[in-house]
Chains A and B, each alone.
Chain A
Amino acid sequence: MTNAVTGAPGSPLRFFAKAIWEIQSYTFLASRAIANLFTRPIYWREIILQMDRIGVGSLTIVILTGFFTGAVLAIQSEGALRRYGAVSLTGQLVSLTLIRELGPVLSALMLAGRIGSGIASELGSMVVSEQISAMRSLGTDPTRRLVTPRMISMVLMLPLLTVICDTVGMLGGWVIASYKLLISSNQYWSDAMNALQFSDVVGTLTKPIVFGFIISMTGCYVGLRTHGGTEGVGRSTTQAVVSSSILIIAADFFLNNLLIYLAPLMNL
């Protein structure tokens, strides 16, 4: 059947209309999740539970990611820096790369895999087993009960995890710098710290807030739109990870530009 408004199935008009509709639905869900913060009831118990699941539960992967990334950065920097006789600047390179870029982005990508997929599969399972319908029939708004706590927990936890990732990454770099590149600890740490500006710290704390919002909202949106039984849950899980990852990388590009533009204006 041809739909007069959206065109025939498979047509470009249909695809375009569907894309607009998806963006509208995503925005609507996100705005409702935020608006729920200003009205009662707020599910504090659920928020604490999610913070534990997201924050404490993700510590191991964030620590491992940070450590090995810092270590690899130090190893890779050696070749490039040695050409200019600047191996002693390893600390500077590791800290700038980690704090400006890799710490926030890698932490977010790891959490998109661990938490974004978890949210999508949990909510997706609740949709296909009619638990969401049951919740609504019993007078509870699923956005308030399920989406808002996940959003707030993610937005609060990801910056903390990013700071841990950055710190452990610099430790990883220090291990390589000390034992392989034979740079003194004093030089490594003073270089690493002196290279940083306040805008770098602002960036490393701002980006995870946006990334956390993207991961939680994408997981919830995709999960709540699940259809097609258990096969649909699997599809939603994959879609949540892929969509979150792409959105994180795209948002990183725009945030970098924004921070570069704002830094002089705000004397950062």
Chain B
Amino acid sequence: MIEFFNVYKSFEDEAVLKDISLKIVRGETKIILGESGSGKSTILKLILGLIRPDSGQILINGRDITQLMERDLVSIRRDIGMVFQEGALFDSLSVRENVGYRLLEEGKMREDEIEVAVLQLLGFVGLEDAIDKMPAELSGGMKRRVGIARALVGTPKVVLYDEPTAGLDPITKRTIVELMIKLRDLEGVTSVFVTHDLHAASTMATEYAIAGNNGDIEFRSGKDSQSPQKVNFIMLQNGIVCFEGSYMELMNSELPYIRTFTS
């Protein structure tokens, strides 16, 4: 579904990604770990075509996006939702306009239909009451949840998360990770989760959600091998993939750089 072949990317004279090759298949959750500045967020921006690689190929559903024009990337981006660090909500727009932004821009739906879609998405993240608020009135955690709701417009097949739990308190972090698990397990969304928060990554790898008969959602915990989901980890170090494997392999790794994260 998403494939990188020998991708290099540098900013000014500094190489950020060096010879990155990776593959993310449908239904998979890929968790990209690494310290700040290791090139994690750059991978997400490359997937969306927001920046171009210096060399190498990036295929989305078999289509090379590295040479596509901005207008041709629109159809690729329609299938991909992105949750930005800090939410990246539009300051001058209300929560309603932020979440319904893509629908309002496309102009294909009536206003009342957009209202219903926005309410449904805000219901998913538990923020129906905030529909008339402006981003400045929201807490950090609420901004991320609105960001998730906005990323889900048009039911994308892939959702990219750029450090969605950074700087949040443990309870809000848990809420965000549960939303990500719900999306993965109940909606079948392919996820790419960039973080340096190993605790959030562990929760994502070891827990799964199931819907009960009465409509309640239950979160269960189990080892990676027992989880019905396919979760894989990548560790970046100075722009190079230094580890690729499952959660258990990550935790058992003896590589010194990885031990600084896992110990």
Q: Which residues of A contact B (CB under 8 A)?
A: 1, 3, 9, 41, 125-126, 129-131, 133-141
Contact = CB atoms under 8 A, between A and B. Distances in A.
B103 to A, nearest CB: 10
Given A9-B13, A139-B106, A140-B105, A134 B84 contact: yes
B50 interface: yes
B88 A129 contact: yes
Given A9-B13, A138-B101, A139-B77, A130 B48 contact: no
Given A130-B84, A141-B70, A135 B90 contact: yes
Contacts of B80: 137
B105 A138 contact: yes
Given A131-B91, A133-B50, A138 B85 contact: no
Contacts of A9: 13
B91 A137 contact: no
B48 A137 contact: yes
Contacts of B107: 41
30 contacts: A3-B13, A9-B13, A125-B91, A129-B91, A131-B88, A131-B89, A131-B90, A131-B91, A133-B48, A133-B84, A133-B88, A134-B82, A134-B90, A135-B90, A136-B70, A137-B48, A137-B50, A137-B77, A137-B80, A138-B101, A138-B102, A138-B105, A138-B150, A138-B153, A139-B74, A139-B78, A139-B106, A140-B105, A141-B70, A141-B71
Contacts of A140: 101, 105
A137 B101 CA distance: 11
B73 to A, nearest CB: 8
Interface in B8-50: 13, 45, 48, 50
Contacts of A139: 74, 77-78, 102, 105-106
Nearest to A143: B70
Given A131-B91, A133-B88, A136-B70, 12 more contacts: A129-B91, A133-B50, A134-B88, A136-B50, A138-B77, A138-B102, A138-B150, A138-B153, A139-B77, A139-B105, A139-B106, A141-B70
Q: Which 10 A-B pairs have the closest CB atoms?
A: A130-B88, A134-B88, A130-B84, A1-B13, A138-B102, A139-B74, A137-B82, A133-B50, A131-B88, A137-B48
Interface of B: 13, 45, 48, 50, 70-71, 74, 77-78, 80, 82, 84-86, 88-91, 101-102, 105-107, 150, 153
Contacts of B13: 1, 3, 9
Nearest to B160: A137
Nearest to B51: A133
A130 B85 contact: yes
B86 A133 contact: no
Given A9-B13, A138-B105, A129 B86 contact: yes
A138 B70 CA distance: 12
A60 to B, nearest CB: 23
A259 to B, nearest CB: 39
Nearest to A136: B50
A133 B105 contact: no
Contacts of B85: 130
A127 to B, nearest CB: 11
Nearest to B81: A137
B15 to A, nearest CB: 8
Contacts of A129: 86, 88, 91
A41 to B, nearest CB: 8
Contacts of A130: 84-86, 88
A2 to B, nearest CB: 9
Nearest to A2: B13
Nearest to A133: B50
Nearest to B153: A138
A86 B105 CA distance: 63
Contacts of B150: 134, 138
Contacts of B91: 125-126, 129, 131
A134 B85 CA distance: 10
Nearest to A140: B105
Contacts of A125: 91
B102 A133 contact: no
Nearest to B93: A131
A129 B107 CA distance: 26
B157 to A, nearest CB: 15
A1 B107 CA distance: 48
Contacts of A136: 48, 50, 70, 77
Contacts of B82: 134, 137
B90 A133 contact: no
A9 B45 CA distance: 27
